[in-house]
Structure 1
Amino acid sequence: MLTSSQSQDSKAFFAIYGGSFDPPHLAHLEILKILNNNPLCLKIILLPNYRNPLKSPTLFTPKERLKMCEILAQTSGDKTIIDDYEIKQNRPVHTIESISALQKQILDSYPLSYAQAKLCFVLGSDSFQSLHLWKDSQSLCKLVEFIVIKRESNAITYPQNLKPQIRESISLSHFNPISSSKVRELLHNGEIEKALKMLPQQIFPFIHTHFKL
């Protein structure tokens, strides 16, 4: 469920959901559906990265992950759109760069009335906690508010020396066992059926093709 965290929650917003999506799983899909059902959310921009600057290389290629995200977008609701900005750069891209590019794109592509809508970046509570390690994190906090995904019931921990605005928190405690890293572990170990239980059915054929099952 969505819970209000800030006094500005009456304003419309664009949700930018970035990540590796390696691969996209049921918790990702649930987040997109929740945002699609939020009347204040104008669009959800699904933004798969080429490679996270703070993480190791991905299991699936950028193009494979982009294709799976396209399937996820089609499944999650009409508000979800794909942006391949980071994939097209063919290099790791810092979030501050992507936000600046998307900000210009939104101003150029949407009615002037949308110009007052806030940009909200969607991320997990662990990533939110380490926000101070991101490039130009102070500037990023001025450009966007945050929608924080919580997998546990404990309070959100704020990053060091930053004061980011939290627009909403989304509780996904019932999806706690599901993560991309767990799916990759199962796939590596040949436990395909267990892995598939954590993934949307729409990407099953893609997984089967990739692993030549």
Structure 2
Amino acid sequence: MSELFALFGGTFDPIHYGHLHPVMALAGQTGLQKVTLLPNNVPPHRPQPEATALQRVAMLERAIADLPLFEIDTRELDRETPSWTVATLEALRAERGPHQPLGFIIGQDSLLSLSKWHRWQDLLSLCHLLVCQRPGYATQMETPEMQQWLMANQAQDIQQLHQTPAGYVWLADTPLVNISATEIRQRRHQGRSCSDLLPAAVIDYIDAVGLYRD
């Protein structure tokens, strides 16, 4: 069996420590050797990004320059259609074959709204869901039916993630990092410092190109 291959999708407008630190903790906990960052082009569940696709990739490159855990896959930026996670996972499953363990990293907030995702019922046939904790979000699913679904599919042992290609939800014990890209953009528009929220190399790039200014 191949090692667990994990993806972490997002708008990354901009990438920040609330993305990086929990995922690094998750990787240590689950034995991930590599995490592929997957920037969205047309995010179906949120407003369009302020930064362009090229700017968001440039910020990702700077954020992970000294973090060998991470790499970047820009395939969703080549699409004109919404960035449906299930379509990307189907493409990756076709590329990597039926036996490759695939993990898709999400936050607790995304888990709670999973039933609103496009073809969400197909996700566990394609991957494991690796869930990072998020501050301020409930630990119970939104309906009894979804809670039952979670309990039926929750992994009890990390080896289940490495020894099977898909099918489990792993609730990771990750640090609660209360940072959002919305907060960063608001601070920037107000002329306030964000030095404690994201890597210095990303801030330098934001300053250089004049992002998130009125």
TM-score normalised by L of structure 1:
0.79
Alignment of 1:100-139 (within 5 A): 100-107=90-97, 116-139=99-122
The equivalent position to 1:48 in structure 2, one of 7, 29, 39, is 39
Partner residue in 1 for 2:201: 202
Partner residue in 2 for 1:167: 170
* Contact in 2 for aligned 1:53/1:92 (Cα 8 Å): yes
Counting matched residue pairs gives: 191
SS in 1 for 2:66: helix
SS in 2 for 1:67: helix
Where structure 2 has 5 or more consecutive residues not aligned to the other structure, the ranges are 151-167
Percentage of matched positions with identical amino acids:
27
Distance 1:137 1:127, change over 3 A: same
Partner residue in 1 for 2:127: 144
* Contact in 2 for aligned 1:132/1:159 (Cα 8 Å): no
* 1:76 Cα deviation after fit: 2.4
The equivalent position to 2:139 in structure 1, one of 147, 156, 160, is 156
- In the TM superposition, what whole-angstrom CA distance separates every residue of 1:77-131 from its partner, at most 9, and x where no partner exists? 2x32210010111442100011111222334xxxxxxx64421111111111000
* Contact in 2 for aligned 1:46/1:82 (Cα 8 Å): yes
| Cα RMSD after superposing both structures | 2.5
* Contact in 2 for aligned 1:196/1:204 (Cα 8 Å): yes
* 1:29 Cα deviation after fit: 1.8
Where structure 1 has 5 or more consecutive residues not aligned to the other structure, the ranges are 1-10, 108-114
Matched letter for residue 37 of structure 1: G
TM-score normalised by L of structure 2:
0.78
Distance 1:153 1:36, change over 3 A: same
* 1:140 Cα deviation after fit: 1.2
Matched letter for residue 140 of structure 1: L
SS in 1 for 2:141: coil
Matched letter for residue 68 of structure 1: M
Runs of 4+ in 1 over 6 A off after TM superposition: none
Matched letter for residue 197 of structure 2: M
Structure 2 CA distance for aligned equivalents of residues 39 and 27 of structure 1: 19
The equivalent position to 1:95 in structure 2, one of 85, 95, 101, is 85
Structure 2 CA distance for aligned equivalents of residues 144 and 159 of structure 1: 22
